[in-house]
Chain A
Amino acid sequence: MSDFLKIQGLQARIDADGTPKDILKGLDLEVPKGEVHAIMGPNGSGKSTLSYVLAGRDDYEVTGGSVTFKGQDLLALEPEERTALGLFLAFQSPVELPGVNNANFLRTAVNAVRRARGEAELDAVAFLKAVRAETKHLSMSDDMLKRAVNVGFSGGEKKRNEVLQMRLLQPSFAILDETDSGLDIDALRIVAEGVNSLRSPDFSALVITHHQRLLDYIVPDRVHVMAHGRIIHSGGPDIAKTLEKQGYTQFLEAAA
């Protein structure tokens, strides 16, 4: 149960124009099965780095610590293997793929993951049915399926497209990296609903955000405060409200 996602003493650095810069400095975090956790923290605390390291981006060098996910050494896996195992990262800034039809991309991804999980691939008809159900749920137009992946999408459309991918790939653990940024209140509600309706004893999530606002819609089981590449405080959902009122100062001082 507690070995669903376990991060111990994680250290990671990035090469910043030739000089290595330490970003994660011994981070400990556990997310049990079926729980939604939030990470809040000031800019530059290493939140996005954490999400990239977990998803397997190789610009980051892991210099210490370990991550186990469903009993496996997550850091030894390729990014696509992590996805097959059930991890999903919703990007803060989704990348554009010019000329690549969105529906084709989604179907290629879904079938790659299904193949890796030993499930039967979806044919065009079954896939279209599945995707139509989801786009309706997320108030997305069919037009977004016909366009090139993220090309010319508004900020809100990109985020919805991320949530659409998440729902189609059916992860057991999703990381949402500032999915609320750039969303108006209606879009925020739709996106939050897209996440909430996945909540089940078999689905966990790590919600990374700057703002209390998102956590009004996705109410976390626990909130962690991150600063200087570490988790410096953990508690219930009410911490988020404290942060909103008083800022990070008290946590930073307490940790110092």
Chain B
Amino acid sequence: MPAVTETRETVEKLAKSSYEWGFETDIEMDIAPKGLNEETVRLISERKGEPQWMLDWRLKAFRAWLEMEEPTWAHIHHPPIDYQDAHYFAQPKKKPGPRSLDEVDPELLKTYAKLGIPLHEQALLAGVEGAEERLPVAVDAVFDSVSVATTFRKTLAEAGVIFCPISDAIREHPELVQKYLGTVVPVADNFFAALNSAVFTDGSFVYIPEGVRCPMELSTYFRINARNTGQFERTLIIAEDRATVSYLEGCTAPQRDENQLHAAVVELVAMEDASIKYSTVQNWYPGDDEGRGGIYNFVTKRGICRGARSKISWTQVETGSAITWKYPSCVLAGEGSVGEFYSVAVTNNHQQADTGTKMIHLAPNTRSTIIAKTISAGHSDSTYRGLVRMQPKARNARNFTQCDSLLIGDQCGAHTVPYIESRNMTARVEHEATTSKISEDQLFYCRSRGLSEEDAVGLIVNGFCREVLKELPMEFAVEAQKLLQISLEGSVG
């Protein structure tokens, strides 16, 4: 049948070109030798001009890591990772870190322009022209290991907001970093978090003082560029009493045959009546159609609602990475605090994703909502893994969980693994799950209305994910929709 041949050709074509962000930037790099030992940790700390307490903290993490083993419980398969075969530090040559955009290598700026990241504030402002009153977005860009530019720092400073590379924060706001770093994800929390704690190179730091509503969206773009380099970024966001912030991260990497390791840690702290919204559009290189290359993405993200009535909301659209291992979690410690998790995870070709969330209810009247949408195509395998735990003091706590899986084709898999632990009689936990396929009837109906097969799949998938996409900030919702479509191109046969 011609339709089959055509689909196959489309797939072949797309497998070669579908990852638009797969370019490499030619920049002179300062790279640490391969391998991981105490010397590496010391070198990183020294290169970053860190104080002694930071080095001590890293070494503590490194020693803990040496005693730990890689977790094996996730539903993912990969050859053993040789942690000695990677570089743990790479930074564009030009030291110390750039102070303004003028000092940034023009090649770098070109890279970000290609990615559509508006680094120049002027360009950004020009981009928001029109009748719509859209808030500008402050961007922190992390290239391999180093944060290269943070925009709008001045405007933010006037509002009392600190938004800067975490390496700057360590030097300039040591009291804040020391007070919060590692309090949500302790150095020895898990294998990958310990690794990150030892060798993290940069990331973003956000501090919103009491009563301040952050005047704009904050955004970080991460890009892995150098070969054989691990990227370990560390993000710390603190919202004091009645503070509000919305933060978005985006990720890309060049196409390479070998796998690259990415192990990030994100910590969020929300005090009384504070609100943190953390959105991710993750598009690391997923590997080719045979499963060669791609990013191994082992990420620990956790937020604590420390104050009463505080709120933490995670929204993620995960379309990239060869392997995704990621469970953004909320610890609901403040009375009446709220945790939310909205997720779309798409896997195609040979991608594997084991992702979900943990909602730990410690205090009375805490509430959590989990909406997880999983889409599997090709030979991919996707698992939702979620824990809802009601501790003895969580009186009248409530959780609602909904997990929906959509299968495209008959070679893929979707699994839902909910863990529910309730230690309080008054707590209420609800769990709903569905699995469906895109039906021939739906496809034919759309096509008979003039839509191509690809557009039809895109439309149906976006409909399936609507509850999650509507949680994303406006501009990124559009980007996410396009990304979903690109990720699934050629997946129907």
Residues of A within 8 A of B (CB): 55-59, 78-80, 82-84, 88-89, 91, 94-95, 97-101, 104-105, 108-110, 112-113, 116, 148, 165, 169
Contacts and interface: CB of A to CB of B under 8 A. Distances in A.
Given A58-B1, A58-B3, A108-B455, A99 B448 contact: no
Interface in B438-459: 439-442, 444-453, 455, 459
Contact of B463 (A59, A79, A83, A148): A148
Given A109-B451, A112-B450, A91 B445 contact: yes
Interface residues of B, number: 25
Contact of B442 (A80, A97, A165, A169): A97
Given A78-B3, A110-B450, 14 more contacts: A56-B447, A56-B448, A58-B444, A79-B447, A80-B448, A80-B451, A84-B450, A88-B448, A94-B445, A95-B444, A101-B463, A109-B451, A165-B449, A169-B449
A170 to B, nearest CB: 11
B171 interface: no
B450 A109 contact: yes
Best-surrounded residue of B442, B445, B449 (most CB of chain A within 10 A): B449
Question: DSSP class of B's interface residues: helix, strand, loop or mixed?
Answer: helix
Contacts of A165: 449
Contacts of A108: 451, 455, 459
Interface in B43-68: none
A99 B450 contact: no
A91 B459 CA distance: 19
B249 interface: no
Contacts, number: 81
Contacts of B3: 58, 78
B437 interface: no
A98 B459 CA distance: 10
B464 interface: yes
B426 interface: no
20 contacts: A56-B444, A56-B448, A79-B448, A80-B450, A83-B448, A89-B448, A91-B445, A95-B441, A95-B445, A97-B445, A97-B460, A97-B463, A98-B463, A98-B464, A99-B465, A101-B463, A104-B459, A109-B446, A112-B455, A169-B450
Closest 9 CB pairs of A and B: A99-B463, A100-B463, A113-B450, A109-B449, A79-B447, A95-B445, A99-B466, A112-B450, A83-B450
Contacts of A113: 449-450
Nearest to B3: A58
Interface string B274-295: 0000000000000000000000
B464 A99 contact: yes
Nearest to A58: B3
B462 interface: yes
A169 B448 CA distance: 11
Nearest to B469: A99
A105 B441 contact: no
Given A58-B1, A105-B459, A112 B442 contact: no
B441 A112 contact: no
Nearest to A82: B448
Best-surrounded residue of A57, A78, A80, A169 (most CB of chain B within 10 A): A80
Contacts of A91: 445, 448
Contacts of A100: 459-460, 462-463, 466
Interface string B447-489: 1111111010001101111110000000000000000000000
A177 B446 CA distance: 17
B450 A116 contact: yes
Contacts of A169: 449-450
Contacts of A99: 462-467
A80 B452 contact: yes
Contacts of A116: 450
Nearest to B1: A58
A98 B446 CA distance: 13
Nearest to B467: A99
A73 to B, nearest CB: 13
A110 B450 CA distance: 8
Interface in B371-422: none
A78 B4 CA distance: 12
A83 B442 CA distance: 16
B253 to A, nearest CB: 31
